[in-house]
Amino acid sequence: EKYVYDFSEGHKDLKELLGGKGANLAEMTRLGLPVPAGFTVTTRACQAYLATGQNPDGLDAEIDEHLAALERTMGRRLGDAEDPLLVSVRSGAAFSMPGMMETVLNVGLTDASVAGLAAQAGGNDRFAWDSYRRLIQMFGKTVCDVPGEEFSDALEEAKKAKGTTDDLHLDAADLRALVDRFKRIFAKHTGYDFPQDPREQLRLAMEAVFRSWNAERAVLYRRQERIPADLGTAVNVCSMVFGNLGADSGTGVAFTRDPASGAQGIYGDYLSNAQGEDVVAGIRNTVPLEDLQRLDAKSYEELLAIMAKLEGHYRDLCDIEFTIERGKLWMLQTRVGKRTAAAAFRIAAQLVNEGVITLDEALRRVSGAQLAQLMFPRFDLSDEPAALTKGIGASPGAASGKAVFSAQRAVELAAEGEDVILVRRETNPEDLAGMIAARGILTARGGKTSHAAVVARGMGRTCVCGADELEIARDRFTVDGQTVAEGDVLSIDGTTGRVYLGAVPVQPSEVVQYFEGDEVDSTLVEAVDTIMRHADATRRLAVRTNADTGEDAARARRFGAEGIGLCRTEHMFLGDRKELVERLILSSTESARNDALAALLPLQRADFVDLFRAMDGLPVTVRLIDPPLHEFLPSLEELAVNVAVARERGEENAEEAQLLDAVRRMHEQNPMLGLRGVRLGLVIPGLFAMQVRAIAEAAVQLAGEGLHPRPEIMVPLVGAVQELEMVRQECEQIVAEVVAGSGVEVLIGTMIEVPRAALTAGQIAEAADFFSFGTNDLTQMGWGFSRDDVEGAFFWRYLELGIFGISPFESIDRDGVGRLIRIAAEEGRAVRPDLKLGVCGEHGGDPESVHFFHEVGLDYVSCSPFRVPVARLEAGRAAV
Ligand code: ADP
Ligand code: MG
Ligand code: MG
């Protein structure tokens, strides 16, 4: 196996093998750009090293060969005393990853070669000693775990002694003394002297890069971002070029477009007389890249030409690291750059307009998650408020409120009508009530899979977690010398992770205004429009919405919904109607039951008229009543207490005692698995019939007005075809009677949400015009999880343990629940090729899940109104 690739051997598509940095260095070399010579050791070598603790057979020999070739190319030998070749050792995985070892520059410098380096630079002693002290510092810190502050403190002291704050004022003698100091620090912490054999330095640095793959922060980051743990990192060995040789040298970073807005132009920073890390470390003030034109016009022009070439080649925004050594430009890194959600849409649309990429490609380059981000209201930052601190944006949104430090206070203040932000070191299941009461949640510890993050995302609460600068006490926190006490107002941004003191004003999203149909004049909206149109033209999946009211339905329709996939009729039974339902359920005589049903019928009909009107011409799936009985009955506990108290006082009320008996009779240990859905319809005569009649009558009424209602009646919780057949027979009779002569057509289908239904789909399809997968219940019953109980209680722990990477209620579990869907789709269609297949449940608006539903050949997904645009976009992406 080949473990080492010269920069001239690789190319950009070898990211997995050479890491992102290595693959792109190779690509730039192939393009003929000025890249310092070097080679890349593969991620496979790293995997082998991590598995066995030593370099795999043949690796050392291969490195020797490539090093010898590099020395020949450069005409210098590594660390040679007279005329040394120096190299950088740079980590670089397929995904860029904070927490991994970064880079050691100037490898090859020793007590002996430092003089040779000075001679190379025309007798520049200062430069040579500066380079040497940087090597010991970086090597000590990243390879040998010497605490970095020891070095930086020593550097500060040296500057102080010299009466300066600028390290450029340290001369050769100062730096030489600093090298001695650094060496002592090194020896004190490691127990041995700074290695004087260049080849040994190289070996140690490369092994440290390998090992850094498993550094704690890197492991944590991978878990959070769901990056597989076994990829390994590549190591790049690159001959050094020097930006710290004087005023005609320097180093900088550049973007081919603005990564925040996507605007075309020249963006970047430049620092003269500096080496690599200095730009990002912020030790001296950088100048805007445009200033390079004045400092070094020739390099500037060359850089612009290279940037244009790179953008043309990658056909995307690139970011770039470069160094100028005595007027000669060198390219040290490029990659397709990270960008904000808004910039992603803008850039994709711009590149289409410029004829650089196709619309299909533009669609691939944006995501539903980015679109969702653009739909949240956001803080208006035009007054540039300074952030108090920053954590991890764990659940998006913009929330302001009074700081509270316990769940109890959150509940109390929220009950008084206050907006609160719950601040905790970390949250645990006991904080749940407070999290529900709060507008937002802020924690000092934990990442994207912490309890706070998982629960907040599940509830749609804004959350910033892991703000580790916060020092939290019982009723206050301090950060950076400032104290925030209970009642002080905080604003938290769940996208950026920024935390502000005071109430930052919120502005509505222009993208939502656009979806609402308002005229919005903005380049972002134009870009979203271009891409959404293409998604709609491309997708095979239709997108419907879950809505129970005419108002929700109308909004969803503006957002692009093509029908209703789930109308939950039980929501229509709450409020003042609850009493009618209670009478219905508890009635002991047929006539009492019929009275209750007769009273409900016109109310239901009016609901459906609203809904069908709002969705005129589009299908509307109405689910017959589903939820557990007890939701409609008075609470057993309350009633029992009332009756007992009354009895005590001798004021017993016969009616109430009777009610208590009935409620007790119907009480269920596990209501989610009890008398609900189709079971309720089969047990309470006339209930489904009333609903079906209301649906059919509403449709006939609207047809009479010249509209085109398209009702679909859906039976919930079916597990056996017999259940569906019985209900269907009853429904068909009523429908036939009501719609006769009206031209209205009514479909009758079922939910597939009990695992048995999925496994017997071939039978069930005989009695169903359509299936709608109820993925919430199917997940619940497939896993045996009670959703309401598990998410707050222990899911965070499961995520932490990696049992699943994301909650199966958030994103469909392809292997298990997904398999049930696949089986049901295939076996159902085998029996009835025209069977309509859809999905309702929040998975319908989850990007990953939408791709899965596309793959298994469903006809539509249905999701809440706000997710409709996201589902449209992802359905389009799934189809390109
Ligand atoms: P990161 O992944 O953190 O960007 P890099 O490997 O790109 O790490 O290196 C960090 C800094 O060191 C960058 O600014 C880079 O330009 C600089 N650098 C790396 N290799 C060399 C080299 N051979 N010569 C000069 N500067 C280098
Ligand atoms: Mg870099
Ligand atoms: Mg259900």
> Among all ligands shown, which has an atom nearest to the Cα of 321?
1
- Kindly indicate the confidence band of residue 279, based on its pLDDT and cuts at 50, 70 and 90: low
Pocket test for ligand 1, best of 73, 97, 103 (most atoms within 8 A of CB): 103
Choose, from 840, 843, 854, 863, the residue flagged as catalytic. 840
pLDDT at 647: 87
Going from the Cα of 392 to the center of ligand 2, the distance in angstroms, rounded, reads: 23
- The string of pLDDT tens digits covering residues 295-322 is 999 999 999 999 999 999 999 999 999 9
Q: Is 90 annotated as a binding residue?
A: no
- Kindly indicate the confidence band of residue 629, based on its pLDDT and cuts at 50, 70 and 90: confident
Going from the Cα of 338 to the center of ligand 2, the distance in angstroms, rounded, reads: 13
Give the Cα separation of 610 and 95 in Å (integer): 51
pLDDT value at 97 more than 80 = no
pLDDT value at 437 more than 70 = yes
Q: Is 623 annotated as a binding residue?
A: yes
- Kindly indicate the confidence band of residue 168, based on its pLDDT and cuts at 50, 70 and 90: confident
pLDDT at 88: 97
Smallest CA separation from ligand 1 atom 9, residue: 103
Q: Is 664 annotated as a binding residue?
A: no
pLDDT value at 282 more than 70 = no
Choose, from 46, 144, 451, 731, the residue flagged as catalytic. 451
Which of 186-190, 201-205, 502-506, 626-630 has the least mean pLDDT? 626-630
Please report, as a single letter, which amino acid is at residue 575: G
In the predicted model, what is the mean pLDDT of residues 157-165? Answer: 92
Pocket test for ligand 1, best of 25, 87, 90 (most atoms within 8 A of CB): 90
Atom of ligand 1 nearest to the CA of 280: 14
Pure H helices in 649-767: 654-666, 678-683, 687-704, 721-739, 755-759, 761-764
Please state, for a pLDDT cut of 90, what percent of the chain lies above it: 73
pLDDT value at 209 more than 90 = yes
Q: Is 568 annotated as a binding residue?
A: yes
- The string of pLDDT tens digits covering residues 23-63 is 999 999 999 999 999 999 999 999 999 999 999 999 999 99
pLDDT value at 388 more than 70 = yes
- Kindly indicate the confidence band of residue 99, based on its pLDDT and cuts at 50, 70 and 90: low
Mean pLDDT across the chain: 92
Please give all residues whose beta carbon lies within 6 A of any atom in ligand 1, as ranges: 36, 88, 90, 102-103, 105, 238-241, 276-277, 321, 323, 332-333
Give the Cα separation of 178 and 800 in Å (integer): 45
pLDDT value at 570 more than 80 = no
pLDDT at 283: 62
Smallest CA separation from ligand 1 atom 1, residue: 102
Q: Are strands 498-501 and 506-507 parallel, antiparallel or unpaired?
A: unpaired
In 3D space, the residue among 211, 212, 179, 209 whose CA is nearest the CA of residue 196 turns out to be 179
Task: Put the strands of the sheet holding 482-485 in their side by side order.
Answer: 471-472, 476-479, 482-485
Going from the Cα of 680 to the center of ligand 3, the distance in angstroms, rounded, reads: 13
pLDDT value at 281 more than 70 = no
Going from the Cα of 94 to the center of ligand 2, the distance in angstroms, rounded, reads: 14
Are the CB atoms for 734 and 693 separated by under 8 Å? yes
pLDDT at 671: 81
Atom of ligand 1 nearest to the CA of 90: 6
Are the CB atoms for 26 and 7 separated by under 8 Å? yes
Number of H helices, E strands in the chain: 36, 33
pLDDT at 806: 84
Q: Which residues contact 766 (CB under 8 A, 6 or more apart)?
A: 721, 831, 832
Pocket test for ligand 1, best of 202, 244, 321 (most atoms within 8 A of CB): 321
Going from the Cα of 276 to the center of ligand 2, the distance in angstroms, rounded, reads: 8
Give the Cα separation of 521 and 499 in Å (integer): 30
> Among all ligands shown, which has an atom nearest to the Cα of 775?
3
Going from the Cα of 104 to the center of ligand 1, the distance in angstroms, rounded, reads: 8
Smallest CA separation from ligand 1 atom 26, residue: 276
pLDDT value at 454 more than 80 = no
Smallest CA separation from ligand 1 atom 17, residue: 276
Going from the Cα of 435 to the center of ligand 3, the distance in angstroms, rounded, reads: 26
pLDDT at 529: 97
In the predicted model, what is the mean pLDDT of residues 746-752? Answer: 98
- Kindly indicate the confidence band of residue 684, based on its pLDDT and cuts at 50, 70 and 90: confident
If you average pLDDT over each of 501-510, 527-536, 622-631, 786-795, which comes out highest?
Answer: 527-536
Give the Cα separation of 740 and 736 in Å (integer): 6
pLDDT at 742: 95
In 3D space, the residue among 394, 409, 487, 484 whose CA is nearest the CA of residue 443 turns out to be 394
pLDDT at 345: 97
> Among all ligands shown, which has an atom nearest to the Cα of 236?
1
Q: Is 570 annotated as a binding residue?
A: no
pTM for the model: 0.83
E strand or H helix that includes residue 402: strand 398-404
Which of 278-292, 342-356, 491-505 has the least mean pLDDT? 278-292
Are the CB atoms for 382 and 456 separated by under 8 Å? no
pLDDT value at 536 more than 80 = yes
- Kindly indicate the confidence band of residue 280, based on its pLDDT and cuts at 50, 70 and 90: low
Are the CB atoms for 585 and 597 separated by under 8 Å? no
Q: Answer yes or no: 451 catalytic.
A: yes
- Kindly indicate the confidence band of residue 690, based on its pLDDT and cuts at 50, 70 and 90: very high
Q: Is 57 annotated as a binding residue?
A: no
pLDDT at 224: 63
Atom of ligand 1 nearest to the CA of 243: 25
pLDDT value at 223 more than 80 = no
Tokens in use for 401? 């409120």
Atom of ligand 1 nearest to the CA of 238: 23
- Kindly indicate the confidence band of residue 396, based on its pLDDT and cuts at 50, 70 and 90: confident
- For residue 684, list its beta bridge partners: none
* Tally of CB atoms within 10 A around 135: 24
In 3D space, the residue among 307, 303, 299, 320 whose CA is nearest the CA of residue 249 turns out to be 299
Torsion of CA 506, 510, 514, 517, to 10 degrees: 40
pLDDT at 176: 97
pLDDT at 51: 94
Going from the Cα of 826 to the center of ligand 3, the distance in angstroms, rounded, reads: 21
Pocket test for ligand 1, best of 105, 107, 241, 324 (most atoms within 8 A of CB): 105
HEC readout, 218-237: HHHHHHHHCCCCCCCEEEEE
Smallest CA separation from ligand 1 atom 27, residue: 276
- The string of pLDDT tens digits covering residues 797-838 is 887 777 887 889 989 999 999 999 999 999 999 999 999 999
Domains of the chain: 4-239 (3.30.1490.20), 250-336 (3.30.470.20), 377-507 (3.50.30.10), 539-576+602-628+682-879 (3.20.20.60)
* Chain-centre distance for alpha carbon 98: 17
In 3D space, the residue among 674, 679, 713 whose CA is nearest the CA of residue 693 turns out to be 713
- Kindly indicate the confidence band of residue 630, based on its pLDDT and cuts at 50, 70 and 90: confident
Which of 145-149, 279-283, 699-703 has the least mean pLDDT? 279-283
pLDDT at 477: 95
pLDDT value at 576 more than 90 = no
Please state, for a pLDDT cut of 70, what percent of the chain lies above it: 99
* Tally of CB atoms within 10 A around 797: 12
In the predicted model, what is the mean pLDDT of residues 135-139? Answer: 96
Smallest CA separation from ligand 1 atom 2, residue: 102
pLDDT value at 163 more than 70 = yes
Q: Answer yes or no: 46 catalytic.
A: no
Which ipTM value was assigned to this complex? 0.95
> Among all ligands shown, which has an atom nearest to the Cα of 96?
1
Atom of ligand 1 nearest to the CA of 253: 14
pLDDT at 449: 67
Q: Is 642 annotated as a binding residue?
A: no
Angle, in degrees to the nearest 10, between helices 847-855 and 368-375: 140
> Among all ligands shown, which has an atom nearest to the Cα of 100?
1
Going from the Cα of 839 to the center of ligand 3, the distance in angstroms, rounded, reads: 11
- The string of pLDDT tens digits covering residues 668-680 is 888 888 889 999 8
In the predicted model, what is the mean pLDDT of residues 586-614? Answer: 91
Which of 160-169, 263-272, 568-577 has the least mean pLDDT? 568-577
- Kindly indicate the confidence band of residue 791, based on its pLDDT and cuts at 50, 70 and 90: confident
